Amino acid sequence: MNTQAMSTQEVALALVARRLDSAQRTWLENARAEIVGGAGDDRFCQLLSQASRFAPRKPLAPSAAELETAVRALEGWSPERWTTLEALRLTLLQCLPDLAGERGVRVLEEAFEYADIGEMCALYKSLAHLPNPGRFVWRAGEGARSSMRAIFESAVCDTPFPARHFDDIAWRQAVIKCMFIEAPMWRVWGLDTRLDAELARMALDLVEERRSAGRAINPELWMTLGRHGGVRGLSQLERELREGAPRGRAAAGLALARMRELDRLGAALALERDEFVRQVFTEALAGRAASSAWAALDPTHKPLATQR
């Protein structure tokens, strides 16, 4: 099969089918047939809810090949943190007749109205996979404003939706909110394409606020500077290199590389004694300083190879 031609619906169906037993696959086939055959709005919401009885909540744990196929279908989509149940709910939503029309918006809003947290996470994760996803900016914004980390991450992380559809204000607010809700900013797809001076200013305001309060700096804040940190950013980074913990120093080094301050980074490498930090500095000097490099600084991150 030509994986470049696969839709996200085909990819999701394949991912789910490989992880269901025969009885579960039968239920899915029947549910999809009922939806395609004209199930009403209420019945669709019932099937979306009933899916929890027929699909495991455990992680999809896709292989490297499956992840590659997913990215080919939709750049920015990472099913690595989806559950089988969430993917199954996506396949139900995608077979809804007139999904691209008014009914699609109406049914989606009705589904959100009655959704529990698990259903809501699946729905937010599904937004980027729907026809004309820009129609759902308001709904995605609701997820980005949520104080529940699971909801927020479903709307903002591992999806191309915010980077492609949020306006500048909503985008910056979502990025900065990662720090308050402890969501991993490095998983916000497209971050490096939408850095600007205002986002850097907001991040540096937060840095100074936390320093004044005697609080630690989240290393991911340095990710937001890019080429926009200026003299103020350099001053704060130099302080982090002098006073920060290893993860903070490593992040400051990555930020220097992103600012093209390679001489400063080289000087920091010469003085650094921590082997982990030295490794990060060396890789940054070699050009590996994209936001994804912050994954190495995330203590909760487990590379794909260790998850299976």
Of 300 and 112, the one with more pLDDT: 112
Question: Phi, psi (5° rounding) for residue 244?
Answer: -75, 160
Residue 6 pLDDT > 90: no
Give me the DSSP letters along 179-225: HHHT--GGGSTTGGGS--HHHHHHHHHHHHHHHHTTPPPPGGGGGGT
**What is the per-residue pLDDT across 155-201, written as a single tens digit (0 to 9) for each?**
999 999 999 999 999 999 999 999 999 999 999 999 999 999 999 99
Q: Give the separation between CA 304 and CA 184, rounded to whole angstroms.
A: 16
Check residue 2 and give its pLDDT.
47
Cβ atoms of 259 and 226 within 8 Å: the answer is yes
What pLDDT band is residue 301 in, cutting at 50, 70 and 90?
confident
Q: What is the mean pLDDT of residues 147-162?
A: 97
pLDDT at 298: 87
Rounded distance between C-alpha atoms, residue 164 and residue 189, angstroms: 10
Task: Answer yes or no: are the C-beta atoms of 83 and 19 closer than 8 Å.
Answer: no
CB-based contact 255:229 (threshold 8 Å) = yes
Q: What is the mean pLDDT of residues 297-305?
A: 71
Q: State residue 83 phi and psi, 5-degree precision.
A: -95, 165
CA distance 84 to 15: 8
pLDDT digits (tens, 9 = 90+) for 46-59: 999 999 999 988 99
Largest Cα span, the chain:
68
Q: What is the pLDDT of residue 308?
A: 39
Q: CA–CA separation, 87 vs 28, rounded Å?
A: 12
Indicate if the pLDDT at residue 305 is higher than 70.
no
Model confidence at 307, in pLDDT bands (50, 70, 90)? very low
Share of the chain above pLDDT 70, in %: 96
How far apart are alpha carbons 74 and 9 in whole angstroms? 10
pLDDT at 300: 78
